[in-house]
Amino acid sequence: MSIQEKIDNYKKTLSLFPNPQEKYQYLIEQAKFNDDFPENLKIDEFKVNGCQSQVWLVPEEQNNKLYFKSDSDALIAKGLVTLISTIYSGETANDIVNSEADLMEEFELGVILSPARRNGAFSMLKKIKDFASGLTD
C-alpha cells in the first residue's frame, strides 16, 4: 500500500468521527496499539526535538524499505507518532522523501491539536524525512 493509500485510509476513518473530540480520542486509541517499544531505545539519539513531550523515533532499514518504531510519554503524542510511523513504514527512502502530503491538512488535525502539538507532529515527520533523505542518491 502506498503512502497516499495509507493516508486515504486514515482520512476515511477520521471522517467517521463528526466532532474534533472524537478525532482526538481516536489518536489516543492509536497509542494503545503501540506498546512494544524497547526501553533501551529511549535514548537521545532517537529523541524527536521540538515536541512538547518526550518522543522517540527509531528508523530501521530492511530490504530497501524503511520501518519506524516509536514511543512517547504522552498518549496524544504517542498516537500521533504511531499514526505517522505507520504511514511511512514499509516505504522506500525515495517514496518518503518525494511524498508531499501535509498530514495536518489531510487529517484536519489543526482543528484538534494545539500549536505545540502541531509543531511536534511536524518535527516527527521531519525526522522521518531527514533519515530517508540520508539514504537517497
Q: Distance (Å, rounded) from C-alpha 85 to C-alpha 66?
A: 10
H/E segment holding residue 69: strand 65-72
Active-site pick, 51, 83, 96, 128:
51
Cell of 12: 476515511
Q: How many helices (H) and strands (E) does the chain have?
A: 6, 2
Q: Distance (Å, rounded) from C-alpha 63 to C-alpha 135?
A: 13
Task: Annotate 17-68 with DSSP letters as a single string.
Answer: --SHHHHHHHHHHHHTT-----GGG-SGGGB-TT-SS-EEEEEEEETTEEEE
Active site residue 51: yes
Residues designated catalytic: 51
